[in-house]
């Protein structure tokens, strides 16, 4: 049957990198897009005009991750064992080069001002994770609020270090087991008052651990082996009620996140995840049903949580580490997508959909509730490694109706001056060319409206950026 439906096409293609694009992130209320490549270059794109605003080589090797920090800074994590915080405000851009790294530059590319530098481990190919340093960050007059940075440990690739910025001090070293292989993906956030760490490992295991402030130790709350291959990426939902993992295999798994309240010993795995999401309200039965629907998981994952021994009052820190409680459980949902090698999994800010970048050159968009594939975005001819969603505030506009209303809005006629003495000067400013006030005002108003419309589009569109091995970045706006 004939149909007029055509494949979705990107809104724009950003051609700037010579090497494969490894990371992307939206910053400054989505007016800027950061992209980073395998040769250490960072390009800052102005999404109101789709042009570069700043280009520099941040690292001597490939870049694993990028992110914004506050209003005027960005963080890059490179394969040269460095994590660097750069000062990059609006007034810093004019002095930086806009020469794209497509070839040799005839002029030097100056770097932004370096604020902080950490020596970190990058043998894991695991990008950093970050979150505010406080569970309830209050109003902060500084442009760069305090944050926590999680990276693989420098000496033990299965352990995780958590640093504090701007002090650059190491706050925690977390060891969740030495039989899972290297740390491959991380997420860090506060669940209530509890600092919570999510880690994906080389053997396909995902673990959630919370910091117990009274005992000064990390306690695993959830553990599941959903993948037969290393975890490539993970992301947590905006509501902090679940997280998703993707792997080198074809499985995408949806996992519960623990409740911030203390967990009683001897309860079931599902009971410890109270209120995680609507998918987990049925407790262990729902978790076991999810396992039965998976082709790649063993039913043994549906076992109840094992109670940990209560440490004696005289236990040392090492003994406490050995007697930590852990919860072995099944994920909420598992989907065998039949497409291996999906990485850079990102959940959109409204929590309704998520996207992955595929080694088969396709960007796939899924329902966060059902894990059902909603769209396959095909433009790149080579593998995709990076995906990023724009951060949209709840209730923000950006629909076609809003755009049309803004463009066709009729300007309000000039009001009579409040001060009669200034009337002649105001009328002279309004009326040019023999009293044709509309001829003087309309061109200026139209120009401002077009500019404002571009800024509004950049800030409110549900952009999905995808970076590929071909060095190009595609921008999509489909949902």
The conformation of residue 97, written as its DSSP 8-state character, comes to B
Q: Cα 431 vs. chain centroid, distance in angstroms?
A: 51
pTM, entire model:
0.75
pLDDT at residue number 177: 78
pLDDT at residue number 259: 79
Contact 102, 16 (CB under 8 A): yes
Cβ partners under 8 Å of residue 248, min gap 6:
227, 229, 230, 232, 340, 341
Contact 392, 29 (CB under 8 A): no
Q: How far apart are CA 287 and CA 31, in angstroms?
A: 41
Counting Cα atoms < 13 Å in the Cβ hemisphere of 218 gives 21
Mutual angle of helices 423-430 and 437-460, in 10-degree steps: 70
Per-residue pLDDT in tens (0 to 9) along the chain, 479 residues: 344 567 889 999 999 999 999 999 999 989 999 999 999 999 999 999 999 999 999 999 999 999 999 889 999 999 999 999 999 999 999 999 999 998 777 788 999 999 999 999 887 789 999 999 988 766 554 567 999 999 999 888 899 999 999 999 999 999 987 889 999 999 999 998 899 999 999 999 999 999 988 888 999 999 999 999 999 999 999 999 999 999 999 999 999 998 765 544 333 333 333 333 334 333 333 333 333 333 333 333 333 333 333 333 333 344 334 334 446 678 999 999 999 999 999 999 999 999 999 999 999 999 999 999 999 999 999 999 999 999 887 655 444 433 332 323 333 344 444 444 444 444 344 434 444 444 444 444 455 566 667 677 667 778 999 999 999 999 998 77
Q: CA distances (Å), 360 to each of 368, 379, 429, in order?
A: 22, 11, 61
Q: Which residue has the tokens 């006629």?
A: 413
pLDDT at residue number 412: 38
Q: Which residue has the tokens 């070293």?
A: 173
Contact 281, 340 (CB under 8 A): no
pLDDT at residue number 135: 86
Q: How far apart are CA 355 and CA 1, in angstroms?
A: 30
For CATH 2.130.10.10, list the domain ranges present in the chain: 12-398+464-476
pLDDT at residue number 458: 67
Q: How far apart are CA 190 and CA 8, in angstroms?
A: 37
pLDDT at residue number 32: 95
Q: Return the bridge partners of 333, or none.
A: 254
Q: Return the bridge partners of 378, or none.
A: 362
Q: How far apart are CA 478 and CA 164, in angstroms?
A: 38
Give the number of other CB atoms < 10 A from CB of residue 138: 6
Superfamily of domain 12-398+464-476: YVTN repeat-like/Quinoprotein amine dehydrogenase (2.130.10.10)
Query: Which tokens go with 164?
Result: 């504090």
pLDDT at residue number 306: 33
> What sign results for the dihedral spanned by CA atoms 329, 334, 338, 340?
negative
Query: Which DSSP helix (H) or strand (E) runs through 400?
Result: helix 400-408
């Amino acid at each position: 049957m004939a149909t007029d439906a055509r494949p979705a096409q990107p809104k724009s293609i950003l051609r700037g990198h010579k090497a494969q694009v490894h990371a992307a992130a939206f910053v400054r209320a989505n007016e800027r897009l950061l992209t980073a490549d395998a040769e250490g270059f960072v390009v800052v794109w102005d999404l109101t005009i789709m042009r570069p605003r700043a280009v520099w080589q941040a690292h001597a090797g490939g870049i694993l991750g990028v992110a914004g920090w506050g209003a005027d800074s960005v963080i890059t994590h490179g394969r040269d064992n460095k994590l660097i915080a750069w000062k990059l405000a609006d007034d810093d851009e004019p002095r930086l080069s806009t020469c794209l790294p497509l070839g040799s530059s005839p002029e030097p590319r100056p770097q932004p001002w370096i604020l902080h530098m950490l020596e970190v481990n990058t043998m894991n190919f695991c990008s950093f994770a970050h979150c505010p340093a406080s569970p309830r960050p209050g109003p902060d007059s500084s442009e760069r609020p305090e944050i926590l940075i999680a990276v693989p440990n420098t000496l033990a690739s299965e352990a995780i270090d958590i640093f504090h910025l701007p002090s650059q001090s190491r706050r925690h070293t977390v060891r969740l087991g030495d039989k899972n292989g290297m740390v491959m993906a991380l997420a860090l956030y506060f669940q209530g008052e509890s600092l919570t760490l999510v880690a994906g490992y080389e053997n396909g295991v995902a673990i959630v651990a919370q910091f117990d402030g009274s005992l000064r130790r990390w306690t695993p709350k959830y553990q599941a082996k959903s993948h037969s291959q290393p975890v490539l990426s993970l992301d947590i939902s905006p509501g902090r009620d679940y997280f998703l993992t993707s792997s080198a295999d074809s499985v995408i798994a949806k996992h519960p996140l623990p409740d911030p309240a203390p967990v009683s010993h001897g309860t079931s795995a599902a009971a410890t995840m109270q209120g995680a999401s609507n998918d987990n309200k049925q407790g262990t039965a729902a978790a076991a049903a999810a396992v039965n629907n998976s082709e790649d998981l063993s039913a043994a994952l549906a076992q109840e949580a094992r109670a940990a021994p209560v440490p004696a009052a005289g236990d040392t820190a090492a003994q406490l580490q050995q007697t930590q409680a852990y919860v072995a459980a099944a994920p909420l949902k598992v989907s065998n997508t039949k497409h291996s090698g999906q990485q850079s999994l990102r959940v959109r800010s409204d929590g309704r959909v998520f996207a992955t970048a595929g080694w088969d050159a396709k960007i796939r968009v899924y329902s966060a509730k059902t894990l059902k594939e909603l769209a396959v975005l095909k433009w790149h001819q080579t593998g995709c490694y990076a995906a990023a969603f724009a951060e949209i505030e709840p209730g923000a506009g950006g629909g076609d109706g809003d755009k049309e209303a803004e463009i066709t809005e009729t300007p309000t006629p000039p009001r009579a001056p409040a001060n009669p003495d200034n009337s002649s000067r105001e009328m002279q400013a309004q009326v040019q060319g023999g009293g044709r006030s509309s001829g003087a005002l309309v061109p200026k108003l139209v120009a401002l409206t077009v500019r404002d419309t571009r800024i509004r589009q950049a800030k409110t569109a549900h952009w999905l950026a995808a970076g590929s091995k071909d060095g190009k970045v595609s921008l999509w706006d489909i949902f």
